[in-house]
Amino acid sequence: MRVTTFGEVMLRLTTPRRERFNQARVLEMTFGGAEANVAVSLAILGDEATFVTRLPKNDIAEACIQELRGLGVNTRAILRGGDRIGVYYLEAGASQRGTTVTYDRAGSSVATLDPSEIDWPALLAGNDWFHFTGITPALSEAAAQATRDALKAARALGVTISCDLNYRKKLWSPAQAQATMSELMPMVDYCIANEEDAEKVFGIKAEGAEVEQGRLDHDRYIEVASALTKKFDLKGVAITLRESFSASRNGWSGLFYTDGQACFSRRYEIDVVDRVGAGDAFGAGFIHASGLKRTPQQIVEFAAAASCLKHSIFGDYNRVGRSEIEALLGGDGSGRVQR
């Protein structure tokens, strides 16, 4: 498939060895961001993935573009301008201490873009799929307008559209998110979310679910998916199901609701190396399997397996190929040495 994603890619600075911010003397430099993560995963899986963003003209941004290009992402649509690349600092949690993210992204190049800079009809011509998340319109009104323009162009061209709600309380309030996303969602075909996204953005709650205690009620998640589908006339809703027993140990599975039917994936027990980007890996797996014309059950199994493996990889990007995902789907999850 030809897939385009649009959003912000950031410099990620992580404390080594799960150290605290007030303890670390060096920070490990990588790059990441929701839509960039999806593009990288899709490129590794073999799709033609284009990432659209805006970056400043400096050596850090150039390093980011070179890394994306090296991972197979088409970077020709990346705009250059503005003053800075957004930054986020990550203190990785362990055991009962949760992971902490601190943003330094205000006034980033993509947040200060001029929406008219992007010729969406030309850029999306010939594409099969367009993907964005709720993070992008939260960055600024300019980014929100660029997202609106992209969705209108995609709809006019018959391009399938997916949105990961990805609510970020450090970027906007629930009221702001609801106002903006309620305008965008009627143009979306497939919604990807978790229980917090649906509740914070649209007030749709999975009653009885206690993620922190590891309790999930599947019937309640079906109700959430059904409510989202009806509210925005969606073709389907995919929901990630995380059971957080601790920062180091999670249960993980997924739900895909389409045509009034709910398909749940198998459940994985995960010892977490890095959970950042797992939802994006799920989204990429969902998009890729949908492009392969898999059944709804096969789609959610592929997405859950892809994102399960992401938890074992440091950094935002899911550096996992299709053969590894297929092996896990075939039952090879022992983690034994491959010789």
C-alpha–C-alpha distance, residues 214 and 198, integer Å = 19
Adjacent-strand bridge partners of 10 = 32
Instruction: Tell me 267's DSSP state.
Output: P
Is the Cβ–Cβ distance between 27 and 89 less than 8 Å?
Answer: yes
Q: What angle, rounded to 10 degrees, do the helices at 218-232 and 195-202 form?
A: 40
C-alpha–C-alpha distance, residues 142 and 189, integer Å = 23
280 is catalytic: yes
For the chain, the distance separating the N- and C-terminal CA atoms, rounded to the nearest angstrom, is 32
Q: Which residues make Cβ contacts (< 8 Å) with residue 25, sequence separation at least 6?
A: none
Strand-pair category, 48-52 with 2-6: parallel
Q: Which residues make Cβ contacts (< 8 Å) with residue 337, sequence separation at least 6?
A: none
φ/ψ of 290, rounded to 5, equals: -65, -40
Is the Cβ–Cβ distance between 206 and 220 less than 8 Å?
Answer: yes
C-alpha–C-alpha distance, residues 172 and 176, integer Å = 6
Tokens for 237, please give them.
Answer: 């809703």
Residue among 47, 280, 316, 332 flagged as catalytic: 280
Catalytic residues: 280
